[in-house]
Amino acid sequence: MSAALTDFAPNHYGDAGTKRRLRLAMYVALAPFGLALLGYRGAIGGDAAGGWLAFGLVFAPFLALALAYIRATYRGSTPGIKNDGVQVHELSGRRVGAYLLGTAITSLYVILYWFPGALTGVVQVMEPLSQALRKGPADQWFFYGFLYTAAVIVMGIRMIYRYRHNKYQIFRTLSVMFFQLAFAFVLPALLRAFNQPEFYFTYFWPLKYDYLFPGSFEYLWKQSGGVGMFMFGWGVIASFVLTPLLTWRFGKRWYCSWVCGCGGLAETAGDPFRQLSSKKLKAWKFERWSIHTVLVLIVVLTALLWVDLGRISNDYKAWYGFFVGAALSGVVGVGFYPLLGSRVWCRFFCPMAAVLGLFQRFFSRFRITTNGDQCMSCGNCSTYCEMGIDVRAYAMQGKNIVRASCVGCGVCAAVCPRGVLKLENGKTHKDRFEGAEHPLADLLGALKKK
């Protein structure tokens, strides 16, 4: 039996008329983008004002209208959890629109990776910004970085508006917006302008896997002078000192939902899709295999490159780059947001998440505590968990939640209508759950079980 929702206008917040008009205007504002895709910037302003006219025409109206739409949606609502209609919404409820959107995003990734020629028009439109920031010509990756950052900022504003009653969500969202804009977009561009290696200080091995490859060592340490040495050193320290230390202290969340760019996109542009992640036990079983497999693959690859087996190593590297680096993190990871939820990559494939997860599960102080017997099993927490954790299964029994995959987004605690959940860093890692006093024995036990 199901109780199908027949008569439903998904969330009625704001003024429906205004929102309809804004939506129409957004479709219209996409036209210059389409024109740029088809042709070249000449069609939309060309070199006028140094190319800025075309740039402005393609991006400004759409972004402004998107912001106006967000404002129109949430302005009229009282501060609080506003998930009305999420399950039946055209885009977030796995309806036709979701498939179309998924296809569009997936196609964009396929084009980016394998048919960049098709993007010549829009890449040209990026030219003035690229010149201003990077002192060099635009390419498809600059266009992608811009789009990505814009999505994090605009949808981050939405997230903040939506959760304006919740300071944890506000701070966390501001943090990912800042790290994306400053460290993943502006800084690498400026580095390039100053003829330095384009380095991302917020991405570490094994996520940015090539940072610890011998090639990077050659290039950064040996050829790029002091700045390059610093960068390579930073990469090593971040991976082997910072990551364990901060994860021990705060849990995986310090990275996954406060700093990481993939996480940043998931927490902003991905927020409307978080409820789509599968909560089934089967999905959890798959996750434990897949994510640790990728971790093993990248560790082996890195080792092979250092040992240098010549062709084998390089073929393997190309293969990993294709399957994990491009197909899984981009095409599947983001393209499938509207169908499988916002954290497909992070949950099933990200090797960084695997490492952080092992630390979190066995050595961290972080846990989600439950408030005694107050849970009434409604399922909001599990439904809105983007990592597919069945939070309710623990909350119902009054047990703390210590799971490798938890990115600490805090949305379970936010949506719980009975105030049952709280993200906490305890004084030690030992009091998280029964049996947690012996993390090493626990780890060995978990290995044996597998």
Partner 1 sequence: MLFQKKPGRHVVIVGNGIAGVSCARALRRRDKQARITLVSGEGPHFFSRPALMYIYMGHLTYEGTKPYEDWWWQKQRIGLRQAWVTHIDTQKKWLSFAGEAGGLGYDQLVLATGSKPNKFGWPGQNLERVQGLYSLQDLQTLEAVSHEIQHGVIVGGGLIGIELAEMLHARGKKVTILSREQSYWDNALPREESLMVSDVIAESGITLHSGTELKEIVDDGQGRACGVVTGTGEKIACEFVGLTAGVSPNLSALKGSEIPTGRGVLVDFSFRSSVEDVFAIGDCAEIVTPEGQRNRIEQLWYTGQMHGEVLADVLCGDDRTYDRGIWFNSAKFLDLEWHTYGEVPPAGFPVRPGLRQVYWQAADKRHAFRLVLAGDAVVGVNAMGIRYRHKVCERWIAEKRSAEYVLNNLKEGNFDPEFYHRYEGAIVSSLRAQVAQAGGQA
- Of 93, 397, 437, 138, the closest CA to residue 273 belongs to 93
Q: Please spell the DSSP secondary structure of 149-213, one letter per residue.
A: HHHHHHHHHHHHHHTTT-HHHHHHHHHHHHIIIIIIIIHHHHHHHTT-----TT--TTTSGGGGS
Tell me how far apart the alpha carbons of residues 302 and 119 are, in angstroms, rounded to a whole number. 33
* Main-chain phi, psi angles of 81, to 5 degrees: -70, 125
Structure tokens at 398: 């009054």
Q: Shortest Cβ distance from residue 340 to partner 1 (Å)?
A: 16
The residues that touch partner 1, with contacts defined as CB under 8 A, are: 1-12, 78-81, 83-89, 93, 165-168, 171, 279-281, 371-374, 376-380, 382-383, 392-393, 396, 410, 413-415, 417-419, 422-424
Binding at 1: pick from partner 1, ligand SF4, none (beta carbon under 5-8 Å per type): partner 1
Helices 261-268 and 167-178: angle between axes, nearest 10 degrees: 130
> Which lies closer to ligand SF4 via its Cβ, residue 314 or residue 377?
377
Tell which positions 371-430 bind ligand SF4, by CB under 6 A.
Answer: 375-381, 391-392, 395, 416, 418, 420-421
Number of residues that bind ligand SF4 (CB under 6 A): 14
Measured from the CB atom, the residue of 244 and 379 that comes closer to ligand SF4 is 379
| DSSP letter (8 states) at residue 270 | T
**124 or 380: whose CB is closer to ligand SF4?**
380
- Give CA–CA dist 18/363, Å, rounded: 51
Alpha helix (H) ranges present in 198-350? 214-216, 225-237, 243-250, 253-256, 261-268, 281-307, 311-320, 333-335, 337-340, 344
- Find which of ligand SF4, partner 1, none residue 391 binds, CB within 5 to 8 Å per kind: ligand SF4
Min CB(3)–partner 1 separation in Å: 4
Among ligand SF4, partner 1, none, residue 381 binds (CB under 5-8 Å by kind): ligand SF4
Binding site partner of 215, from ligand SF4, partner 1, none, Cβ cut-off 5-8 A by kind: none
Site string for ligand SF4, 284-323 (x = CB under 6 A): ----------------------------------------
Binding interface with ligand SF4 (CB under 6 A): 375-381, 391-392, 395, 416, 418, 420-421
